[in-house]
Amino acid sequence: MGGGGGGGVVDEGQGLHWRNLCKATARLIHVAASFKGNPASSVRNRWGSFRDTLTPSELSHAENIIIHAVQHDAYETELDCLREGRELPKQSPLKKLNPVADESGLLRVGGRISSAPDLPRAEKHPLIIPHTHHIATLLVRFYHEQVVRQGRHITEGAVRAAGYWIVGGKRLVSSLIHKCEICRKLRRRLEEQKMADLPPDRLTPEPPFTHVGLDVFGPWAVMTRRTRGGSADSKRWAVIFTCMSTRAVHFELIESMTTDSFINALRRFFAIRGPAKLLRSDRGTNFGRGCSWIFNPPHSSHMGGAWERLIGVARRILDAMLLQTAHTRLTHEVLSTLMAEVMAIMNARPLVPVSSDPDAPTVLTPAMLLTQKMSTVSAPSGNFQMAELHGKQWKHVQCLANTFWKRWRRDYLSTLQGRRKWTAERPSVQVGDVVLLKDSQAHRNEWPVGLIVNTLPSGDKRIRKAEQQVCKLRGNPENPQIFKDGDIILGGIFSFHSKWKTREDTFMQRPLPLECIRGFQYTQAMLFAIEEINNSTDLLPGISLGYKIYDACVSIARGVRVALALANGNEDVSAPSEAPCTRPAQVQAIMGETSSSPCMAISTVIGPFYIPLISHFATCACLSDKTKYPSFLRTIPSDYYQSRALAHLVKHFGWTWVGAIRTNDGYGNNGMATFTKTAQQLGICLEYSVSVFRTDPPDKIQKIVDIIKASTSKVIVTFLSPTDLYVIIQKLAHYNITGHQWVGTEAWITDFQTAAMDRHHILDGAIGLSIPKAHVSGMREFMLDVKPLNSSSQELFTEFWEALFSCKFKQSLSSAENERECTGHEDVTQVQNSFTDMSLMPIFYNVYKGVYAVAHALHSILSCNKTCDTNVQLDPFTILQNIKKVHFKTKEGDEVYFNENGDPAAKYEIINWQPSENGIVDFVTVGLYDASLPAGKQMILQNKSLIWAQNSQQVPVSVCSEKCPPGTRKVLQKGKPVCCYDCLGCAEGEISNITGVVIFNARQPTENLQIVLFKRYRQTPIVRANNSELSFLLLFSLTLCFLCSLTFIGQPSEWSCMLRHTAFGITFVLCISCVLGKTIVVLMAFRATLPGVTWNNLQMNWGELRDGEECGELE
């Protein structure tokens, strides 16, 4: 047990627990003591003395062993000082604790309370542990759980009371509590973001109620009519309309919280105040009345603070009025009057602080603009005629309006500058974050958990609104289509069906669940592996595997839903009341899904819970990103390796000028991006790269065909699904475009249906990569034996059997149907359809390997030998970590393991389409690509004759330009890739003896030779006239520039990188400066020949130019 920082003592995994560590150590000590001193013949019998329970003394001894190892790693100097009786070093962190060593050699706090009579030894002299060691982390986590996730003081007190003194423990406890997920759920503050800038409608001078914010508040009980026994009461609510610019308010009473009542109130408001351009509210919709309606997200009333604050003001004023009229019954008429008075009071409120300046007695209020009256303005004095008063009326009104807006700009807008809260910028939520959603109607423990699926940035790019999927069961629970109980449950998500049945919804009731049609070979492959493991006595003896398999029906949304059902166990439980289900319904691993997009969605949801998801056919390279998909693994290679393999295959045949077509989805775009990058590294150029999707309009398909028709490349590399490929070749056949060499991926290169639909032989001679063929003994027979499903899933069996044999069981027949009746004894082996087609056996084999990977991980966790330890508590995180470490061979001899990204070893067969005698295409294996082999040995081609496009046996040539012969050189063609060039004869003094390469320039003198020649003849007139000082300096700087390349030799380091850039920068600047100086001298020489130029003028100009040059260098 050595190693600083805890690396040699324990594995610093998140699943490790202090109590489990002590138990494991105690058991190891017990086993070691049992084996000690016994002869080899009795070693087997010593395991029989292993006890399930441990005594307190054994646990205490194990704790002392662990603490001793920790202290030996961290405080070896202090222990040596105590043994030798020396004083501790001054820099020791234990100096103030007065440490002592007990009889076991453990460091304890000496302290000053040794004389306390009633304190136990553990509290008077606790054991010393460094906070940097992982054991300290385990202790804090353990006692944090013991005190039910309380705060730092209580947790630290529990650690001290247990007899441990963690040096620097306060910081460690605070850090772990801050990272504790349960503590965050219980006590974390709500997330907030810096307050946004005000919208334009708050800052634009517009007529009153042009931009309006509205809300509803209340209710109040009013008396509607008197009865013999008293009175009949009802409720009233008020709608507040707030002008966003002038802050004026308007109230309308409504009798109910219905749409009709609100629309009537809105019509009354428009009739009185005029139509509005913009309405804002907490929730709303567009009414089509010539105005826009913006509504805030749910549970975001703070976004409507402009009117929410005024509701509080209105309530306070109304409460004061009702207090004065408490002796009278409130009626609708009285409430209307009170609301009008409240509106008048609120519209007369000052918008800005009241000034004490006697020269500015007026108060800026909303009523100043609404009523066009100012209480401080007196009537004009003097004798005026009535006509004059009417003539000046508009000026009076305009003066009041101008006065309002002038003061509004000067005094009111400045009060809106500051932010009274939410002043600091906070980190924004991101897509994929798991959040807790506040629910005012529920206790915090019952707040739902949500997953951020989309963020809606504000104008300042900060996130204040987001869309989330709430992890809360809604609607009906999901029940598995196929299930079997067992000691350990595995989940399965497969698409039994490939399309949905069309139906018409009446919108009068809840829509029915999805119904769809097809088969379930992948499910049968999973069941075959589970049955084989359960019947084996070597892998998991005494343990039975169960399963719950769901139908995703090629729906991403349904795939996520059933994944949550597998994780949470939210299906209906039909157990009798006297035998309730006490076993957790959570599965330990999930097999599936088939496509990449559903796997991305499912892994995003279950990834935070570390439930392993093992796919057999999801190939997108993006799924290798463990930061986004931490629990995803697969038994099929990533498209990253396939893309690189395709690039190497194209390069092998000398094709440097190719076209590319991809499916416009994650599979095609990611795969083609990797291919393009690798192709550029290998010197391959793409003439065109286009995307297609099966639903594209005909004009886009036609445009792609025109590009292929006009291209000069003869090779087309595809990342297409069979459906998208069919759309292209159907159009090519219409124009009789043949002769292209097609390079394909595993998606269609071995697909019999694709070969059958190519009636015009567009794809003849295609070459591509495929998953290696596989054969698993017994799998085909098991998959075709579907009758056992009749007992486990009657409904699914009935649907499958009827679709397989085109018949109907007696209970399904109707009087109007003429289909034959199913007997249930039909022979599956006598039909030919997609279910009996075993061409996808390599994919079925991937499902088989995924199940066995989980079984081998369980074998390791449960320590299975002749029996398995059933007392081990399983959790998905532990299983995930062990699956990543498995390395085994199947019964067919194939190795199974995963790399750090959860991907298997990439192996592909190279397939060539070759016609057979009966006209059917044969998929001939002509080579192998193994990415695990060293570079240069990964591709192996067999000595088989290849058939190319149009049944040719000659390798097609697809280059933009032929190689230049000896004696010529390449000249790139303008505007084209580097693969396109012209071959020109070598210039005088150049030779080329290799095809396409310029070898040596015989007329390039070296800088060193020039320096020698200049130095030898420096006194000659020609050298002196050439400004010899600058020439020497120029040659010297050029020499240094070339010598800078020596700094790039060897492994780069921080200092060497700094030296490279600095040295080259200085020498190159010196070189340019010399060239500039020589240029200026030449210019001055030419200026000296101009008429009227004297020596004084030339000297002055030279000084100005020199000063300008120096300034330019300084800048």
Asked if residue 574 has pLDDT above 60, the reply is: no
Asked if residue 988 has pLDDT above 90, the reply is: no
Q: Which two tokens stand for residue 499?
A: 């399309």
pLDDT digits (tens, 9 = 90+) for 994-1018: 555 443 333 344 555 566 666 666 6
Residue 571: band (very low, low, confident or very high) from pLDDT cuts 50, 70, 90: very low
pLDDT digits (tens, 9 = 90+) for 65-102: 998 899 888 888 888 888 888 888 888 888 888 888 88
Average pLDDT over residues 666-695: 90
Q: What is the mean pLDDT of the chain?
A: 78
> What's the Cα-to-Cα distance from 1000 to each of 228, 280, 969, rounded to whole Å?
119, 76, 12
> What's the Cα-to-Cα distance from 22 to each of 55, 219, 886, rounded to whole Å?
12, 63, 27
CATH architecture group of domain 482-502+514-571+584-636+777-897: 3-Layer(aba) Sandwich (3.40)
3-class SS of residue 179: helix
pLDDT digits (tens, 9 = 90+) for 200-230: 887 778 888 888 888 888 888 888 777 666 6
State the DSSP code for 657. E
> CATH topology of 202-352 equal to that of 482-502+514-571+584-636+777-897?
no
Nearest CA among 21, 53, 59, 44 for reference residue 871? 53
| CA 1016 – CA 1028 distance, rounded (Å) | 12
Q: Are 767 and 649 in contact (CB under 8 A)?
A: yes
pLDDT digits (tens, 9 = 90+) for 811-826: 555 544 567 788 777 7
pLDDT digits (tens, 9 = 90+) for 444-458: 767 777 778 888 787
Average pLDDT over residues 320-324: 74
Q: Specify the higher pLDDT residue, 1093 or 963.
A: 963
Instruction: Report which residue type is found at 1047.
Output: T
Asked if residue 743 has pLDDT above 80, the reply is: yes
pLDDT digits (tens, 9 = 90+) for 585-626: 478 999 988 888 889 999 999 998 899 999 998 888 889 999
Percent of the chain past pLDDT 90, that is, above it, reads 20
Residue 754: band (very low, low, confident or very high) from pLDDT cuts 50, 70, 90: confident
Q: Are 904 and 635 in contact (CB under 8 A)?
A: yes
Q: Tell me, what's the pLDDT at 505?
A: 47
Q: Tell me, what's the pLDDT at 918?
A: 76
Class in CATH terms, 202-352? alpha beta
pLDDT digits (tens, 9 = 90+) for 197-206: 788 887 778 8
pLDDT digits (tens, 9 = 90+) for 16-49: 678 888 888 888 887 777 766 555 544 444 444 4
3-class SS of residue 86: coil
Q: Which two tokens stand for residue 105?
A: 């050699």
Task: Return the domain boundaries, the chain.
Answer: 4-187, 202-352, 482-502+514-571+584-636+777-897, 639-770+906-951, 968-1001, 1007-1114
CATH of 639-770+906-951, one of 3.40.47.10, 3.30.420.40, 3.40.50.300, 3.40.50.2300: 3.40.50.2300
Q: Are 698 and 710 in contact (CB under 8 A)?
A: no
Q: Are 648 and 938 in contact (CB under 8 A)?
A: yes
Asked if residue 848 has pLDDT above 80, the reply is: yes
56-70, 441-455, 675-689: least confidently modelled range? 441-455
Residue 492: band (very low, low, confident or very high) from pLDDT cuts 50, 70, 90: very high
The residue with tokens 């097809």 is 518
Asked if residue 883 has pLDDT above 90, the reply is: yes
pLDDT digits (tens, 9 = 90+) for 386-431: 454 445 555 555 666 666 666 666 666 667 667 777 777 778 888 8
Asked if residue 924 has pLDDT above 80, the reply is: yes
Q: Are 332 and 253 in contact (CB under 8 A)?
A: yes
The residue with tokens 């914010």 is 213
Q: Which two tokens stand for residue 508?
A: 């009068």
| CA 98 – CA 111 distance, rounded (Å) | 6
Q: Is the dihedral of CA 342, 348, 354, 358 positive or negative?
A: negative
| CA 978 – CA 960 distance, rounded (Å) | 9
Percent of the chain past pLDDT 70, that is, above it, reads 75
